[in-house]
Homo-oligomer: A and B are copies of this chain.
Amino acid sequence: MTTIHDLTTPALIVDADLLERNLGTMAAALPGTRLRPHVKAHKCTALAKRQAAHGHHTFCCATVREMVGMAAAGLGSDLLLANETLDARRLAPLEARVTVAVDSEATIAAAAAAGGAVREVLIDVNVGLPRCGCDPADAGRLADLARQHGLGVRGVMGYEGHAVGMDDRAVRTQLCESAMELLLAAHALTGGDLISAGGTGTYDMNTWANEIQAGSYALMDTAYGKLRLPFVQALWVWSTIISLSPAYAVADCGLKSLGMDHGNPTVVGGAVWFCSDEHTTFAPDRPARVGDRIRVTPGHIDPTIAYHERMHVVSGEQVLETWPVDLRGW
């Protein structure tokens, strides 16, 4: 039997029970198609299959590679590329129901020119986050244009990314509501069955959308931790202390195994000083030894996972399964 002590470090470890708890909590709140799990958070078809086992069969992707991988894994019954692409032709060989977000004439033309790879689109609407999405007032024109190109218009999507991370629930709710007013106004212009929005931070307050694109809830994240959501952190970087001096210890994880855009990781049992390419220097709370293994909590989970080839699903010290992070790249 493999234990966490046998693993080559640094390694991603996932607590099996906590993952299941998160998946079950979300499936109870947003059953079936009310949730469209976003696979960008974990990039792992084995984890997506666990989400499917909880009743979700519609999925959301951020990259063409994720779409291709999900279809190849037999999870293609309803795949949404919730992102713009000029490269829709690469979706051609998929055995899947493929829907793509579009927000411009150019992205509609790319979808239409993809040789039948894309038959349906969502009009992506800017609801306040300065990123993708058209002006809400332009949604009807783009929907008409898509239909003229022979594409089915399934509705709208609009991500309230400026709201999902707000600590204050009242502020979060108010921003979410304002964003969804824009999305509903756009939907009135486009028609279609889907109003797709949301994220882990607004999963229980966004009652305007009829499907929620949440991904982080499965493994959670430090930044979301302060929102008092009913989901718990379930992923860490397992690391070995490889060097020790009187004042500090050095673990074998660093900038190439940790997403750093939210700042330094934290260490259970120590205070982090800094990270280098393959090292984290920290002051341990108690006496440590070279060879000790520690749990490191990354500042941001999504870009952390994207550095790793696999994640190990553990129960206590036992490794139950090892899942490839098979949706990396583009």
Contact = CB atoms under 8 A, between A and B. Distances in A.
Interface string A242-264: 11110110101001110111000
Please give me the 5 A-B residue pairs with the lowest Cβ-Cβ distance, nearest first.
A106-B290, A260-B261, A84-B242, A132-B243, A256-B306
Interface stretch (A17-25, A182-190, A273-281, A315-323): A273-281
Contact of A260 (B40, B133, B243, B303): B303
A281 B161 CA distance: 13
A6 to B, nearest CB: 11
A121 B124 CA distance: 58
A97 interface: no
Q: How large is the interface on A (under 10, 10 to 19, 20 to 34, 35 or more residues)?
A: 35 or more
Given A8-B90, A260-B260, A276 B161 contact: yes
Copies in the complex: 2
A256 B243 CA distance: 29
Main secondary structure of the interface of A (DSSP, over half): loop
A303 B256 contact: yes
Interface in A85-116: 85-87, 90, 103-107
Interface string A288-318: 0111000000001011001111000000000
